[in-house]
Amino acid sequence: MSNSQIVRFGCFSIGLLLASSTALAQSVDRNEVEKIVREYILQNPEIIGDALTELQNRSEAAQAEARTAVVAAETDALLRSDNDVFLGNPDGDVTLVEFFDFNCGYCKRAAPDVKALVAEDAGLRVVLKDFPILGPASVEAAKVALSVKRLEGESAAQEFHTRLIGVQGQINAGRALALAEEMGLDRKRIEEEMRSGEIEAIISSNLSLAQRLGLTGTPSFIVGDQVIMGAVGKEPLQDAIEKTRK
């Protein structure tokens, strides 16, 4: 909101307050009200900053409330999709969901933190959701990973994810398929699966879910009703996990 919009908003709001007094509303016309408000704002310019801060706070609170509602409504899609890779305790008492992109440098930075959390917390379950938003190469890599999960099962998918997220440089279908071959997996079967409608549907579903949650970048974490954006480090994630557990 620009300063001129704040001024107009202030004029309108204070004008409404003045209009609540019938006698005063009859004796003061609109131009006089706007003149009074304008002079007040010029004499007290700090109220513009206060108004912007309050507007930002209200916007963030509304977004958080909307995300919490979506998290509650989408529990199965978030926590129990057979298409996702799972780490840690499959019967853990707390689940940490990560939306990631194989070409996201911040996701690569966050991977050791997630690995450490799983190693140190016997009650933690991690769900890894492919969220390929960084271009065609990311979509290709996601298709390979999802195909590995569908064709080879959980154990192979876990190893594939761990190794691919650690690869430096841009990851596309060629590099992801080369890793699959290195693991002894059937490249031709994976390439065929990549072209299936099921793989397209999974990616579309993940993108739609992320949109409903208001996620705009990777990594994005969800634990309980908390949404955490970015590679924030191990400690903030651990704090959120403990908060959810309590």
Q: For 232-245, how does the pLDDT look when each residue is reduced to its tens digit (9 = 90+)? A: 999 999 999 999 99
Domain that residue 48 falls in: 3-64
Q: What amino acid occupies position 60? A: E
If asked whether residues 54 and 84 sit together in one domain, one would say no
Task: List the one residue out of 151, 148, 168 whose CA is nearest residue 160.
Answer: 148
Same domain, 151 and 87: yes
Mean pLDDT, the chain, integer: 87
Q: Which of 44, 64, 84 marks a domain boundary?
A: 64
Q: Are residues 135 and 15 in the same domain?
A: no
Q: Is it the case that residue 17 has pLDDT exceeding 70?
A: no
Within this chain, do residues 123 and 175 fall inside the same structural domain, yes or no?
yes
Q: Give a three-class secondary structure readout of 170-206.
A: CCCHHHHHHHHHHCCCCHHHHHHHHCCHHHHHHHHHH
Q: 151 to each of 3, 74, 146, 159, 225, how far by Cα in Å?
A: 57, 26, 9, 14, 32
Q: Are residues 129 and 207 in the same domain?
A: yes
pLDDT recorded at residue 7? 46
Whether residue 217 is found in the same domain as residue 136: yes
Residues 194 and 105 in one domain: yes
What is the domain count for the chain? 2
pTM of the model: 0.75
Q: Exposure of 45 by Cβ count < 10 A (0-12 exposed, 13-18 middle, 19+ buried)?
A: exposed
Residues 205 and 240 in one domain: yes
Higher pLDDT, 53 or 192: 192
Give the CATH number for residue 111: 3.40.30.10
**Structural domain contains residue 69:** no
What mean pLDDT do residues 123-133 have? 98
Whole-number pLDDT of residue 61: 64
Angle at 1 between CA 208 and CA 46, to 5 degrees: 135
